[in-house]
Structure 1
């Protein structure tokens, strides 16, 4: 009898790369850092690179930043990222960028998912506006300049079916449940968390969203002290569907010696299956009216 041939080896899980940055007020300089980081991610075998919120321009001075911000059709930034994706044959999640709304009124905080061939596969406008006064004394009124989005976005990628969210969205679990209902297997959370809220809530919220959805959570973050004077928490993180951190930026609170930091981890689709079989939330969920 001929020997039984060995079973074929399973293909390795595709790698996600988080790019941690300290983006500033000069889009050209930010693009230089982005291309270096994306090239590094591609060289390390990543299938997809994730940028942080406001990767192209982080500037809270609305008058100064206005010179750079246009409608998407007139902005050079999406095309610049499309060219980078093509040059390095890698999918890119833009994190987000500030653009004018199509009606030319307020701004939008928009993510793009760009395929390795350069096409834009998905867009998402941040839904929840960061209008808060923190115990630290920081005051943020994002809605004074930005309009919130009104739609969800889920897209097929080399890592699986990706749901899109941005920063403050993280605090609204109903958004993540809606993404799962549309088939999300992992969710991007690009962010520019403040230091005080990051220290208190960043890790626990990311782990909670992973556990309650059975999704990988992929969260690229801004880090350090920025040219506009703000400070961000960093700690870019990938969490598996069981809530276990898989990778965290080594330069936790800064961009890293190269002007960026990379954190890489495999996105194993079987981990999603195992987590959802172990805790079958979709089957168990019910809505009941309770008379008190």
Structure 2
């Protein structure tokens, strides 16, 4: 089987886990009814809350997470692969969380977990400040999972700015790259399309990026524009800023065709990098 239908769920998650679970269920059912056998949701599907105390009063470990339980039930009921872009999951002593993606199989079992490696710590020009490291523990392991149609490399949002991660996943055989996200509107307007198209072009892989979109209950504004990009870098499906579902038919022969045409993955060469002072490292 080399072709399948994928769906990306664009959300506008709130502070209410129950509301978000209800939205998730409606959109996933819509996706499955439209023929999708792989469905991806955005980063922070389960809750978006900028208040750390209130957020951590709501979070649980995996066993107690209501969004994860609902997703596993839906995947099994609908016989689909359901990729939850990320959930905030309490880890360790409970004072921090992992920003964790889950790929769930058609039997409801978790087939892959990925903890976001690159955390978004930045102050934007408009004064907005984000410090993911204050709440989250960074992952340290790239993750790939074998699906019935090919290998999927799992990443999250800010990871997209680190191309070596995607080269490594593609070099290990990934023909699909997932980038579920909650991009801010200013950075999204400037960089979202360019970064995602670049990751597709330089790896010869399909890129699937479900996004949060619009003004959230917590006041944060996310960019939306969920995207499916083919291995040649062409946008084949795109959402606007409103919540909803978009579809794309994925042909897994295309990565091989593109990589034969531009075989850059085979042309990586070792090199010596300059030291921070500009001199050649020894």
Alignment partner, residue 159 of structure 2: 169
Q: 1:24, 1:57 within 8 Å by CA — same for their partners in 2?
A: yes
Given candidates 89, 110, 113, the residue that maps to 2:79 is 89
Alignment partner, residue 15 of structure 2: 25
Deviations 1:175-204 (A, max 9, x none): 111212322111110100000000000000
Alignment partner, residue 276 of structure 2: none
Given candidates 178, 187, 195, the residue that maps to 2:185 is 195
Q: 1:159, 1:267 within 8 Å by CA — same for their partners in 2?
A: no
Q: 2:171, 2:265 within 8 Å by CA — same for their partners in 1?
A: no
Correspondences of 1:1-292 after superposition (within 5 Å): 13-249=3-239, 252-255=240-243, 261-289=244-272
Q: 1:48, 1:159 within 8 Å by CA — same for their partners in 2?
A: no
Alpha-carbon distance, 1:106 to partner: 1.3
Change beyond 3 A, Cα 1:102–1:247: same
Q: 2:20, 2:47 within 8 Å by CA — same for their partners in 1?
A: yes
Alpha-carbon distance, 1:12 to partner: 7.3
For 1:114 and 1:287, the matched residues in 2 are separated by 37
**TM-score normalised to structure 2 length:** 0.94
Listed as ranges, the gaps of 5+ residues in structure 2 are: 274-278
SS in 2 for 1:14: strand
Deviations 1:4-26 (A, max 9, x none): xxxxxxx6720110000111011
Q: Greater Rg, structure 1 or structure 2?
A: 1
Change beyond 3 A, Cα 1:30–1:159: farther
Q: 1:47, 1:159 within 8 Å by CA — same for their partners in 2?
A: no
SS in 2 for 1:238: strand
SS in 1 for 2:82: strand
Aligned residues: 275
Q: C-alpha root-mean-square deviation of aligned residues, in Å?
A: 1.5
Alpha-carbon distance, 1:158 to partner: 3.3
Which consecutive aligned stretches of 4+ in structure 1 deviate over 2 angstroms post-superposition? Answer: 73-77, 102-105, 287-292
For 2:91 and 2:167, the matched residues in 1 are separated by 27
Listed as ranges, the gaps of 5+ residues in structure 1 are: 1-10, 256-260
**TM-score normalised to structure 1 length:** 0.91
For 1:207 and 1:154, the matched residues in 2 are separated by 20
Alpha-carbon distance, 1:103 to partner: 4.5
